[in-house]
Structures are given as C-alpha cells and as structure tokens.
Structure 1
Amino acid sequence: MKTDNTMQPLLTLRKPKFSPSAALAIGLPSLLMATPLLAQDDEPIVLDTMQIEERTVDTNPYAEPGAPYKAKISGDSRHVKPLAETPQTITVLTQTAIQESGDTDLRAILANQPGITLGTGENGNAFGDRYVIRGHEARSDVFVDGLRDPGMTIRESFAVEQVEITKGPSSTFAGRGSTGGAVNSITKQASTEYNFNKVQGGIGTDDFRRLTLDSNVSVTDDAAVRVNLLHAYQEVPDREPADRERNGAAVSGSLQATDKLKLVADYYYLKAEDKPDLGSYIDRTSGKPVKDIPVYMQDEDFLESEVNTATFRAEYDFTDNLRLINATRYGTTDNGYVATGTRGSTSLSTHQGWQEVEYFANMTNLFFDTEIGGLKNQFVTTLEYSSHKVINGVYDITNTGTPNCGTSYCFSDGAGNYYDDLNDLMQRQISKGVKDSDYNIDTWSLAVMDTIDLTDAWSVFLGVRADYFEYDNKVGRPGSVTEYKYSDTLWNGHIGTVYDLTENGNVYLTYSTSSNINGGESDVGGSCGYGGLCGDPTQVGDSKPEQTENIELGTKWNILNEKLLLTAAVFRITKDDVMESVGDSYATLGTLNTGKNRVEGFEFSVAGNITDKLSVQAGAAIMNAEVLESFNNGINTTIPTRGPNAGIPQLTSDDAGKTLANFADKSAFVQARYQLTDDFSFGANATYSSEVFTGQPDTAANEDLGVPSYTVYDLFATYEFSPQLNVRLNVGNVTDKDYYLTAYRSGAFTYIGDRRNAQLTVSYEF
C-alpha cells in the first residue's frame, strides 16, 4: 500500500498480514467518526488519495513497483542514490527477468549480457565461472552482497534477488581488480513484512528436473526466517552423457533487536557436480570450430564445486542521519575437475586440478548525512579487512585403457571415423595429489565517499580508497618450493557529476581508476599467463601494479511514470603496466609490466515497462579494443613520422595494434514480455555476439583462430490459473542454432552453446 509522492515512507506488501478489505473495514468507520470533527474545523482536512498495490513474491524489494524488469535501487547500500541518478553504467537483472529467461547458472545469465564474454581455462584455472567485462578479465571480481566471493566456483541463482553488473573500473567500491567492471549478486533475505511459501517444480527435455522452495516466515513482529532449497539436474542438450547437477540451501534470519539495532545472519551451501564437455576444437586450416563432433568426455571426468559460506550483519542507527553496518563473512570452497580435451584434430588430452579456498572478511560501512555550507552531503566511510587463502594442486591420474593410436588415445581414425566406446577409452584411475601452490593475501582497506547535492540540478560523487596488501605465494611441490612475497598500497579514486536536464532525465560524466597486483589470480600458481606470478622472486617487490583509468559520458532517462529507464554512455578504458606473458624472458628479467591496451565504445540499455502490457530488458554494446604497447623482443623496427621520436628507429612488438583476446566488439541482448490477458503472458529473448578470437586475457588475440558470430532466440510463456498457481514454458535456442561461446587460446577446445531445449515449470504459493 502506498500514498502519492507527498506521503512518506512508501510501504509495499507482498502478502499482507491483513487484507485490503480488513483495512477498509477499519478505515471507513474511522473516517465516519472523524466527520463531526472535520465539520468543527474552520478549514477541512484534505486526505491524500490512497492506493493499494500488491506485490508478487518474485518481485524483489529493490525493483520498481509495478515494473518487475526494472531495478529502482542497488542492493549495495553504498550507492546512496537511485540507479537512475548514479553516474556509472550499472546493469541490473531482477529476479523476475532471470526466472523468465530460463537461465539458472550465473555463467549463463552473464553470457547473454552486452559487453561480457566468457573465458576458458586450462589446468589450474578452469574450475568454474570466468567472465570478461569490456575486454578485461573479471574472474576475481565477483561479489555477493558487496563482499568479494573468491574462488573459481560454479554459481547458481536460486537464492539471488538480483544481479548487478557494474561496467568500468570501480576500485573505490570493489578494491583491487575490477578493471572492466564487477558482478555483485544480491541474495534473498528474511523479512518480517510478509509470510509465504513458494514451491517451483520443473521438468523438460534432456532429463531436466528442477525443484526449489522459497519460504519466508515472520516468527514475531521483530524476527523472521527465510529458507531457499534447490535440487536440479539436466543433461547438456544434445551432448549426453555430459550433465549438470546442483543441490543447494540458503537460510537467512533477521532480528530487530531494538529500535536501533538489527541483526541479520545467513548461511549458503551449494554442491555443483558436472560431467564436463569441453566441446569441439578449432581447425587450423579454416580457423573455425569443427562441427558435429561427438562427446569424447571420459566416464571418470568430473567438475565439482562445494561452497559453504556464513555471513553475519549488524546494523545500528545512531540517529536519523548516522548509521553503521558491519558485515562479517567466513567461507570455504572446494573445487576440482578432470576433463578431457583434444590435442590436434584427434588425440585426447587431460586437463585437471583441485583447489581449496578459505576466506574471511569484515567490512564496516558508516553512513553520515549532513549539511556543509548549506549543501547536502552523504558520506560513506568503509573499513575492510580480508584474508584469502588458496591451496592448489593436481590429481594423480593413471590411464589403464589400451591406447588406440600409437601411445595416445584418439576419438577418430585417419579416415575421420569415430571409434566406438568413446567415453571409455582411457579408463582413468584418479586420486588427489599433493599441493603445488599455497596462495595467501591479506588486505586492509579504507575508503571515503561523498555524494554532494550542489543545487537542485547538480550533484557530485567523490571517492578515494587505499588498499594495503601483504602477498605470499609458495609455488612448487614439497622439496622444491619458490616463495613470492611482497606488499604494497594501492590508491584509487572516483569522481562523477550528474546534471538534471529535466525532472526525468540527466547527463553525467565520471572518471574512475583501478589497480591490480601482479600474481593477483589465485588459481594459476606460478604460471606466467592468466595473471600468475613467476620469474625471479627477488624482483617481485619491484614490479608495478597494473593501472586502469576510465572516463565515461552518459545519460539516463527515468520516464513513463518512472517505470522505464533508458541509459546510454560512451566510454574509454585504458590499462597500463599490463603484466604480460613473455615466456623465457621472465626467467632472466623477472615480472614484466610491459603492456598497455585500450577499450572504447558505446553502450545502450532499456529496462522496465514500455506500456502496461509490454516489459523489456535490453542492451547493446559496440566496442573497439586495441593493444597499444606490448613486450618488445628486439626484432621489429619502425620509424615514427611524428612525435618526440620522429625519425628515430623504434623497436616494436608484433602485437601492437591488434584487438584483445576473448573480446566481442559487438553484442546485444533483448528480453521482452507481453501481457496478452490478465492470465496469459508470453515473451522472447534474443542474444547476439560478434566473432571472438582466442588468446590469453589482456593480450593480443590470435586472429587466425576464433569462434564465429551468432544469434540465439529463446521463447517463454506463462499462464496463471490463480494468484497461487501458474505454469511457465521455456524453449531455449528455439531455432536449434549450432553456436560456440568461446575457445581456449590454442583452439584445443571450444565451448558449445546449448542446443534446443524446453522446460515446463509449475509454481505454487501457499
């Protein structure tokens, strides 16, 4: 229920503890009794018109009421302004949009979004999800409720309220990393405002089954508990016997201990077990993936993640203008996989590794609203400590099967005929081996941010952050260990300004920076590539942090009674002192920060209701990436015609001028739903990605090898039998498109997108 804009606060109820009719039963007699009093006053009291607005259970508290595809505010309270007034590109996917899309894993959800591509990995860095945002590696820039979520784990959406994707460097909020952006999942929390139980059960093609429970119970007026449970299984469409299984639980409790103190605790568990399919490979002659390849996964292959996380929050309101939120999290993640790839066109290879992650974090945010010189200031001060420990290792594997081509295992003969029993060729015996790296990083952070309303039309955001870290990485097996150890302080800032052109539209300009340490990726041990750290340990302390600058000019329009948000922005991200993989040169030169690259482009998005019946979530990104500087091997020489070095021979790299690996210069996504009748709605998704070339992150792409562009269409429809019961049908890849998501740097394996599939989901609320 809410009043018009003159009455605050706004109160919305999902499932009221008393019905609207009860409210009217109380309210009408009260008004009748008040009539004589009104007659006695000289001036009558005019009551504001009241509106009753019901919420469905799957409408999250951060969404715009009545526009379930549009988020109104961020789930991260450090963003003190509504999203429409925040000077940065932030794409938010609400729970309703996610559920109707049919995607469940975070990897699949993000793969559809413009400006984001997927990465692959080998051996120590292929455990789970990998994302590339605006051309830059973001696998360590994943957060849950504002706290970093370390580990290369598989992530599910069953306990997620909304997913927020921040584009561009944001180290003021995120700390180290966040070069191209960051991903923050906002989880479902217990609330005393409503009681509900919602069960969803789904069946479908490829032996699909999915069962979830979302139950919120208001124990007292001050305490509530919420439980989310998950079981899901599916064979990978058209790639059986590859499959995916998920089992999870999320429990949240809240207690309003006093008028000023609120306590929140939650626990999250997920067990993900896959039979992984590494897909096809890229033919060296054509430079494209080989089509119609069989599943050569071995029976013993696996990809597993087990996550246990506990979080405790305390929120205290000192005054109306001063409040404190403290969050403490402890978690562990166990990851492991043995997967079969290809070597050349026929020979099979093994990719494998295990990882144990333990992390602790404590973050305190102090919010202070005050006036200084007659100007409204909204201060946020953040103090954070985190301890991140990762042990990596490999499995001991013995292949007992008889090789079928020399000393190797092949899935086809010289004539291209596939062998029988492809999934039982190697007959592996697998046991967990010793560790080969012990990674530890402790970080202390302090950030101060302020949002200032200069006038009714102008506002400014200012932020600065310091991250002091102590890094220690012992690489190698027992008896032969190399220790990399150093410490440093990273300084970063953010400044943005917003000017309101009208009541509903603005323009903004923002500048932000980020820094990332050498060796910051915990999953690669002493590998020179993929963000690892190697070379001479004595030189590590002399290395430079990678530095990134971003400038963005954009506009946001909150229109149609604030039910539709339009955003558009042009941006330029420049990354300097890039740590490059230069092979044997590391052994003599130590860690090298010799690279520089740039990504610039335009991004547009729309979210919300176009009409009362038509809802949409859409976006498009057109970008250009270029390697500006790269390691110089002393072979190539050019003579500049302009600049300070004009006429002087200069050594150049072959990579300068090339695009970045794992980068799509054009991408788009549209999800639209039309409410045909009160009971029936239908919609469609369309995802487009341009061609993507192979290579390591932050390096020049190999433009001879890549995956082609693709467009994939999905359909969905929902029928509501009653307010408590509805059925949804999802059809993914309705045209049965044969497409590929990304490829390993050598082209040895190429992830295949899901073929046509369908699921029927029944939801019942009680």
Structure 2
Amino acid sequence: MRTNRGIIRPASLRQRSAALAAGLSAAAAIATPAIAQTAAQPAPADEQEVQLDTLKIQGRTADVNPYAQEGAPYKARVSGDSRRTRPLAETPQTITVITETQIKESGRTDLRSILALQPGVTVGTGENGNKFGDRYVLRGQELKSDVFVDGLRDPGMTIRESFNVEQVELTKGPSSTFAGRGSSGGAVNAITKQASTEYNFVNADVTGGTDEYARLTTDANIKLSDSFALRGNVLYSREDVPERSPANRKRFGTSLSALMKPAHNFSMTVDYYHLTANDYPDLGTYFSAAGGTPVKNVPVYTQQGDFVRSSVNTLTAKIKWNIADGFRLENAARYGTAHNGFVNTGARLATRSASDPTAPGAVDTVLDTGHQGWQRIEYLVDQLNLFADAKLLGMKHSFLIGGELSHNKVLNGTYTLTRSGAYNCATGTSTTLNAWCVGNGVANIDTVQGKSYVQGAWNVDWQVDTRSVYLMDTVDLTKWLTLFGGARLDNYDYKLVTQSGTTQTPYSYSGNLWNFHGGLSVKPVHDGQFYFSFGTATNINGGESDVGTSCGYGGFCTVSGTNYYGSPVKTTNFEIGTKWEIFKHTLMLTAAAFKLYKDGVFQTATGDSYSTSGTLNTGRYKVEGIELGAVGNITPRLSTQIGMSFLRSRVLASTTAAEVGKKLSNFANVQINAQLKYQLTDKLGIGGNVNHRSSMAAGQPDTAAVYSTTLGTYSYQLPAYTTFDAFATYKVNSHFEARVNVQNVGNTDYYLAAYRSGTFVYIGDKRRVTFTLSGKF
C-alpha cells in the first residue's frame, strides 16, 4: 500500500494486470469493466507502476476513479460498461469520455452543460417548447431517449446531474447492439460512483459565486469490513441564470451505494438515487423575422407560476460472480420512477389589430399562451451478461452472451392554466392570450399574466415492453489483427392510448428489431491501431414517449382510416479510424472519418403523398464527417482533452422535393472544444476551455431545417459563436484545495438552439465567477 492526500491507494489500482491475473483482489469486485478489458491484453510494464510525484502533479481523480489512466486524470483507460471488453484505445469506435476530474475543473455540473461542450453534440428544443428536461442532438440524430446510467437505459426527459458520476461516456454512431432500439446517432452512458472495500475517505466541495450561486456536494466511502462498504453522495445547489434573474435553477440530490462481498469471487451492490430539480425557467428570446437574427436585450418575462420540475428515484441491484477462470456472470436490475412537469411562457412578435386603441398595426413583442405538460415515468429493467474468454482453433476469443427484459411506461398529461392579467395589446380587446407587450414597460412584469394552474387529465399513455438477446465476440486472429462483431434481437410490444375529453384511441403492435456491428482492427505496433467498423440502429414508429401522435417529432405516425404502423427506421454507420497511445500511454490521439445513413424516416403525410407512396417511411438522410481528438498528458504538467468535428448533413429523400439537399436542424458543421490545464507548480495550476460552434438552423427532426425559397436562405439561423472559460486550482495543503472558475470570460452573447418557427431561442449562459473549496480526508 501507499498513500496520497490522505487516501489509501490500493496496489490493485496501481497494478491492475496483476490483480486481474489473480482474480482475487477487491478491486476486481468494484472495477469489473476494467478487469474484462485489461485481461484480454496485459498492460505494458511501463504503466504497471506510476511514480508518486506524477500523481501529485496530475490530480487526484486517479485515486478514486478505477477507469482513469493513472497519472493522466483527463484520460479514461477503460469504459465503465463491462460489455466493452477492450481498453478504449483498442475499441474500434469513436467514444469520448469525460472524467470526473475534467468535469469538476470545468465548473460544469449538469449533464446538459457537460454535453454542450462535446463535438458532435448540440442542445435541442422540444415540440411546443418542451421543457421536461434534457434534450440533445448527436450527429444530427435525436438523443433524448438514449441516455443510460451504468449501461441501463434511463428513460424520460428528466434533468440529470453529475454529483455522483465517475465519468460520462459518449458513444458516437449507431450502437443498437449495446443500447437496444433507438441510438441512431449514438448514446450517452453515465458511470456512477460505487462503494469500495479498499479505502475510507470523505470528500466535500463548497462553492459560492456570482448570481447567488451556491453548491455543496459530499462524497464519503466507509469500509465497515473486508466484505462490506457504504458510499454516499449528497448535493444541494442553487443559482440564478446569469443576467436572466429571476430565472433560476435549484437541485437536491442524494445517492447511496452498498457493497457486499460474501465470497472472494462474488459481490453484490445495491444503489439508491434521488434527485429533485426545481427551475424557474427562461425560454430566452426569438427571431426578429424570417431571415433575421435573434433579438437582443429582451427582458426576462418569466411569469410567476412558471416552473420546470423533475423528481427521480431509482433502485439498482447488481451482482458479479467469477464462476471460473475465464468465465463470469453479471446481472443488473433497476426499478425507477420519475415525475416531470413544466409550465413555461414564451415570447414572439405580433402585429396589433387595426382596432387597437394605442398603436393599430404596430409590431410588438408579446407573450404567448404558454407551454405546459406533466409526465409520470415508471420503468423496470433486468440485464444479464455472461462473459467467456476461450481459445478456439488457436485464436483467443472474448465472448459475451446477454439478455435484457424491460418495461417502460410513460403517462403524459396537461395542466389547466388560468390567467387574470390585462388584455392582450396585440389583438386590442381579446383576452384569449392575455399576453404582455414588452414595449409597454409594464411594472411587475413577472405577474402581468396573473397565471395559475392545476394538474389536468392525462392525454397520452405510452408503453413499450422489450425482450432482448445479443451475442458479441472479439477474436485476436493474430497478435496484430483483431476481428469483432455482434448481433442483437429485440422483440417488442408497443401500446399507445391517446385521450381527448372522454374519447380514448388505442394503438398497439409488436415486432422484431435486428441490429449488428462488426469490423476489423490492425495494430502495426503495440500502442497504435487502424480500424474499420460498421454499426446499425433501428427505431419503431412512435418511439419517443413524450409527443403522442406528433409524427414529425418521433411520435406515433398515423394515416386516417388505416391501421398503419410502418417499417422500423434504420440507421447505418461506416467508420474508419486510428487510435494511438504515446508518452507511456498517458496521451491518446484519435482520428476517424464516417458516413451515416438514416433510412425510412417517418414523415407526416402531406397532400396525397401517402396515397402515392403507400408509406410514411419516406425520409432519408446522410451525415458524414471527420472527428479528431487528443486526451491525456501532453507533458507531465499539461493535461488536455481536445475534440474537433467537421461534419455535413444532407436530406437525400423527402415527401417535399424542395427539402432534398438541405441540411438538418440544430446541426453545426464545425465544432471544436479544448480543455487544458497546466500545473505551474506542485500547488498552483491554471487552465481553461474554448468552445466553438458554427451556425445552425432551426427545424424539426423529420425534415430539413426550415428554408425560405423567397430569401434563398435558412429561415431561422443561429449565428456561430466561440466562448472561453478559465480556471485556477491551488493546493492549500494535503487536505484542502481551492479552485476559481470563470465561465464565458468574454460575456459573449450566444444561442444554443431555436424552435422551428423562430418563436423562441435558448440563450447560452453569460459570465459567471465561482470559488470552490475542496476538502479530502
């Protein structure tokens, strides 16, 4: 044993290869994913031992994150998903991993802000201003239903936090063999902190800052015996949205993990997670006109009574059993519920009626009727995996045979809104909208609508039950040539009931989804590889749970008078790439080129398009591009993660001929992000982040971005932007460290996403300064 900063550092984390060979170390129970991947190929001798002075400089996440590369806390060595049976440097796919150290030093806290910095990802808006929770677009494809926690799907559009997260893994490209239905552009997997019997520690972070920012997190692991340990995490956070107060965000969360090891080859972990998020929302601004730009300096018009809420509770149980040499069994089961709701107010331009007594015909900013909805989510999933390492015909195989059962049920409903505010100046006398003209300068703007609400009835009952089996194999044909592949079958039952008044309309169908992945990697030297891979993803009609029968947004597509279900939407990705580890495996360089095709996209029938084509699977897209990356230590004192994506999207087929050749909505062709930290001395480190996005256009998922043939340009186009963050860390002593973060140093105006009609535009956060004191005992 050796110690560092008050934490007992087990030898199993210094020399994982030896622990794997023995199969008896306690680390094997808490870091099975790492075991599976390093067992296939022992680590070089030069990375089995890391000097203490390097750890002192590079940061402390290596002490507690079993997946990180020792001495390079920005670099993950392995995935937290044990089904990834090789180290990330040998995994033939673009996978970006954001480690806990990188997350903390960036000052980003929720999943939305973390992913907004990743190349290939953009933040999306929802139908009718949907604000249930997080929504992302990856390589031009919806990602909101493809978020996973520890390899299990986390359904619903809840708000997601990072206080109990070890690392965030972003898999790019279709991956339905791992993820199941959906995952057209890839998937997000959050790896959570787990209890360990190898050490005791207590960590606490206290943060304060501008805009009434306050955040407290604690992380404690208690070893009660060699066979039992507990780990708990707690979060409290409150902040005003910079320069958009009184809009604010509040969070409370807790997680508890218990590890039991009744035998050296068997362990069980039980995790409980809770998060309450309560935001006072701001839908931002809007476009001045088609072909125009977002309007600046729109005052905060959020009304009292507006809110965005999420309450999430999950219980997860996992077992790991090393049956025999080369054979192990893992099972994970989770039951979860989530309650989401939102009532929002949006702004737009409107023309006053001719009868308006003040300014007939004038164009003014008004508030709309509002956007609202509630959601109740219940899900149950069980995933079983059997891993087997064997030699067949002189070749080494890593087999995975798995199965999964899942039940996802989402009940969507509405709120009944009441407004007692003044007449809407845009229409003169009507009280239908009760909107407020920003130009009037009315005092107490947050109460102008006099808004109140009560929860109304449900209107959409969505349910999918799935039974899945999959088989994967990674085989070393020679020391320098590896073949990999996998297949998955999902058998599903889909049920949807819509309700309007007392009328209920049921829809139901069932079917099978087949998906595959495969490829070949060549290693001309030990530390580098070239690879070719392909992967598929499929999704069903009505795969999105929150939009009912809104066909253009992933809801169930119907044809009047026809029992229509359509064919699954299929996405196929082809990728060639290379990965190299240098500087004793502390820096990884990656490059990849890909082409993604999405076929059979559901599009809303227009005119006689259905009678002509006989299907709604009429859309076809292509996304292609190049991604470059570097993560780890450039020098022993300089850590970095750099990512660049240069992409292009095109509509290849559509029911609307004019859309062919146009790009997809909320899609940036160029995205660049770099986070760097330089350790000036053993105590003082400085760093920062640069984030660039090229321009994006608004639209909806099933069509091209909205285009004006009159103007000859995209109707609602968000301008490109570049923002800079900065931070500095100072080690006070062996127990305390201080950090200062400045986000959006230049106080830049920038916009994250826009609704298809331009009626609201999400504003990126302005400058914020925070100070954090971290204690570790």
TM (norm. structure 2) is: 0.89
Aligned counterparts of 1:460 and 1:493: Cα–Cα separation in 2: 14
Contact 1:518 1:532 in 2 (8 A): yes
Find the partner of 2:152 among 123, 129, 147: 147
Note the 1:190-209 alignment, pairs <5 A. 190-209=195-214
User: What is the deviation of 1:260?
Assistant: 2.1
User: What is the deviation of 1:343?
Assistant: 3.4
Are 1:260 and 2:265 matched, yes or no? yes
| Paired position in structure 1 for 2:413 | 393
| Paired position in structure 2 for 1:604 | 628
Aligned counterparts of 1:464 and 1:252: Cα–Cα separation in 2: 33
| Paired position in structure 1 for 2:720 | 709
Q: Which runs of 5+ in 2 are unaligned?
A: 2-10, 28-46, 351-364, 707-713
Are 1:723 and 2:737 matched, yes or no? no
Larger deviation: 158-167 or 418-427?
A: 418-427
Q: Give me the identity figure in percent.
A: 48
| Paired position in structure 1 for 2:19 | 9
Are 1:181 and 2:186 matched, yes or no? yes
Contact 2:610 2:616 in 1 (8 A): no
Contact 1:124 1:392 in 2 (8 A): no
Q: C-alpha deviations, 1:619-674, integer Å up to 9, x for none?
A: 00000000000015xxxxxxxxxxxxxxxxxxxx1100100011001101000000
Larger deviation: 212-221 or 693-702?
A: 693-702
| Paired position in structure 2 for 1:679 | 683
Q: Which has the larger radius of gyration?
A: 1
Number of aligned residues: 710
Contact 1:127 1:152 in 2 (8 A): yes
User: What is the deviation of 1:287?
Assistant: 2.3
1:705 alignment partner AA: Y
Q: C-alpha deviations, 1:664-702, integer Å up to 9, x for none?
A: 011010000000000000101000000010000242002
Q: C-alpha deviations, 1:549-586, integer Å up to 9, x for none?
A: 11000000011100001100000000000011345769
| Paired position in structure 2 for 1:761 | 772
| Paired position in structure 2 for 1:467 | 490
1:704 alignment partner AA: S
Q: Describe the shift of the 1:235–1:550 C-alpha distance in structure 2 as closer, same or farther (beyond 3 A).
A: same
Note the 1:617-632 alignment, pairs <5 A. 617-632=641-656
Q: C-alpha deviations, 1:377-400, integer Å up to 9, x for none?
A: 000111000000000000001101
Note the 1:72-111 alignment, pairs <5 A. 72-111=77-116
Specify the SS of the correspondent of 1:738.
coil
Are 1:348 and 2:367 matched, yes or no? yes
Find the partner of 2:437 among 412, 416, 435: 412
Cα RMSD over matched residues? 2.1
Contact 1:122 1:352 in 2 (8 A): no
| Paired position in structure 2 for 1:508 | 531
| Paired position in structure 1 for 2:40 | none
| Paired position in structure 2 for 1:34 | none
1:149 alignment partner AA: D
Aligned counterparts of 1:697 and 1:359: Cα–Cα separation in 2: 26
Find the partner of 1:749 among 760, 765, 772: 760
TM (norm. structure 1) is: 0.90
| Paired position in structure 2 for 1:229 | 234
Contact 1:170 1:181 in 2 (8 A): yes
Aligned counterparts of 1:585 and 1:526: Cα–Cα separation in 2: 19
Find the partner of 1:571 among 573, 580, 594: 594
Contact 1:533 1:591 in 2 (8 A): no
Q: Describe the shift of the 1:67–1:657 C-alpha distance in structure 2 as closer, same or farther (beyond 3 A).
A: same
User: What is the deviation of 1:477?
Assistant: 3.1
Contact 1:539 1:591 in 2 (8 A): no
| Paired position in structure 1 for 2:618 | 594
Q: Which runs of 5+ in 1 are unaligned?
A: 18-47, 633-652
Note the 1:350-499 alignment, pairs <5 A. 350-405=370-425, 406=428, 407=430, 408-412=433-437, 416-477=439-500, 479-499=502-522
Aligned counterparts of 2:475 and 2:290: Cα–Cα separation in 1: 59
Q: Describe the shift of the 1:586–1:355 C-alpha distance in structure 2 as closer, same or farther (beyond 3 A).
A: farther
Contact 1:137 1:180 in 2 (8 A): yes
2:416 alignment partner AA: D
| Paired position in structure 2 for 1:289 | 294
| Paired position in structure 1 for 2:694 | 690
User: What is the deviation of 1:193?
Assistant: 1.0
Q: Describe the shift of the 1:100–1:383 C-alpha distance in structure 2 as closer, same or farther (beyond 3 A).
A: same
1:401 alignment partner AA: G
Aligned counterparts of 1:353 and 1:234: Cα–Cα separation in 2: 24
Aligned counterparts of 1:321 and 1:130: Cα–Cα separation in 2: 40
User: What is the deviation of 1:409?
Assistant: 3.9
Aligned counterparts of 2:50 and 2:142: Cα–Cα separation in 1: 47
User: What is the deviation of 1:411?
Assistant: 4.1
Aligned counterparts of 2:435 and 2:226: Cα–Cα separation in 1: 66
Aligned counterparts of 2:17 and 2:175: Cα–Cα separation in 1: 35
Q: Describe the shift of the 1:700–1:49 C-alpha distance in structure 2 as closer, same or farther (beyond 3 A).
A: closer
Q: Describe the shift of the 1:544–1:226 C-alpha distance in structure 2 as closer, same or farther (beyond 3 A).
A: same
Q: C-alpha deviations, 1:61-113, integer Å up to 9, x for none?
A: 10000000000000000000000000000000000000100100100000111
User: What is the deviation of 1:117?
Assistant: 0.6
Q: Describe the shift of the 1:710–1:93 C-alpha distance in structure 2 as closer, same or farther (beyond 3 A).
A: same
Aligned counterparts of 1:427 and 1:446: Cα–Cα separation in 2: 54
Specify the SS of the correspondent of 2:133.
coil
1:629 alignment partner AA: A
